[in-house]
Amino acid sequence: MRIAFYSTKPYDKIWFEPLGKEYGFDIHFLDMPCNEETITLANNHDAVCVFVNDTITAFMIEQLYDMGVKVLLLRSAGFNHVDIKAAEGKVIVLRVPSYSPEAVAEHAVALLQTVNRFTHRAYIRTRDFNMSINGLMGRDLHHKTAGIIGTGKIGQAMIKILKGFQMRILAYDPYPDKNLEIEYVSIEELVKKSDVISLHCPLTEKTKHLINEESVSIMKEDVILINTSRGELIETEALLKGLLSEKIGGVGLDVYEEEEGIFYEDKSNEIMKDSNLARLATLPNALITSHMGFFTKEAMRAIAMVTLENAYAVENNLPLKNQVTLKQIMN
């Protein structure tokens, strides 16, 4: 199998190159993202491998089909960046449904603790030998209420950690897990009662802008908001208004609504044209990381293994347990 591997970073090759050789795959590593201009580079390949910021449109699906590309390998759990409807019956779409839920949950907690205790600002101060702690006062998480939106594997890992802080857990999920010893409530009640709100749900038509001006208006004063899931779950304008009015006490973002073309790239020598992102970056109570919640050795190894196992399953006519179909989405 010949695989066109888009959006390659040095850390991708560490895991995919040796594993690809073990499977006998011919992986063509490409530095550029997969888009309508670069999709033709997949010609004469059997499969295309893409990451979360490679948007695969219906037009691109048609091109892949015409070139004889049979498989679209997603090295991610999410698939909202792919037109699944257009792919149906033309290109097999396979994802990595779970690699390291703990990695993402641990990063979410790191964001929470950093935003709450201002450790990022304290680090900068002490490097300049400014030992003043004025303005860096946080709060105890002990016995506070955490609202977890989405109780899949990552949400459950987050709940386990926060229970260690003896936090009260409220949860919302359209498909509650009855085996979890937590209190499920409506999204409105969760937003109203939580001191910390952490997002761990997929991006769908129903969850887009789940956090908006209306939901911010009913939040507790000084609430902390954490998002390690998908950027479009939060309406950026509403977030900014909440932060500037001090209704939202702090935010930790590992994802951003308009991150495509920015995250995973070095923009340090450019003027940031995204005014909302530029404003967020200047706020003392906002912390942004570049979609790196998954980024551990264990997770990267798992992503590479499952992605190539998916390719192996196609090549050898084995069951495609990680296939994404239109029927799944509709359900």
- 331 vs 321: CA distance, rounded Å: 17
DSSP assignment of 154-214 equals: HHHHHHHHHHHTT-EEEEE-SS--TTS-SEE--HHHHHHH-SEEEE-----TTTTTSB-HH
Tell me which DSSP letter residue 231 carries: G
- 324 vs 88: CA distance, rounded Å: 9
* φ, ψ at 61 (rounded to 5°): -60, -45
Sheet holding 92-94, edge to edge: 26-29, 2-5, 47-50, 71-74, 92-94
Joined tokens for residue 289: 């990381």
The answer to whether 291 is a known catalytic residue is yes
The answer to whether 259 is a known catalytic residue is yes
pLDDT at 115: 98
- 218 vs 111: CA distance, rounded Å: 23
Joined tokens for residue 86: 């257009």
Cβ neighbours for 97, distance < 8 A, ≥ 6 positions apart? 77, 322
Q: Are 64 and 259 in contact (CB under 8 A)?
A: no
Taking CA atoms, 78 is separated from 97, 119, 129, in Å, by: 8, 31, 43
pLDDT at 313: 98
Query: pLDDT tens, position by position, for the chain (331 residues)?
Result: 999 999 999 999 999 999 999 999 999 999 999 999 999 999 999 999 999 999 999 999 999 999 999 999 999 988 989 999 999 999 999 999 988 899 999 999 999 999 999 999 999 999 999 999 999 999 999 999 999 999 999 999 999 999 999 999 999 999 999 999 999 999 999 999 999 999 999 998 899 999 999 999 999 999 999 999 999 999 999 999 999 999 999 999 999 999 989 999 999 999 999 999 999 999 999 999 999 999 999 999 999 999 999 999 999 999 999 999 988 777 6
Joined tokens for residue 240: 């900014």
Torsion (CA) 315, 316, 317, 322 in degrees, nearest 10: -70
**For the range 213-218, what are the long-range contacts, defined as Cβ-Cβ under 8 Å and sequence gap of 24 or more?**
213/237, 213/238, 213/241, 215/187, 215/191, 216/241, 216/242, 216/247, 216/248, 217/247, 218/188, 218/191, 218/192
* Domains along the chain with CATH numbers: 2-99+296-330 (3.40.50.720), 101-288 (3.40.50.720)
pLDDT at 331: 62
The answer to whether 257 is a known catalytic residue is no
pLDDT at 3: 98
- 195 vs 269: CA distance, rounded Å: 38
Q: Which of 230, 232, 235, 257 is the catalytic position?
A: 230
- 262 vs 70: CA distance, rounded Å: 30
pLDDT at 224: 98
pLDDT at 206: 93
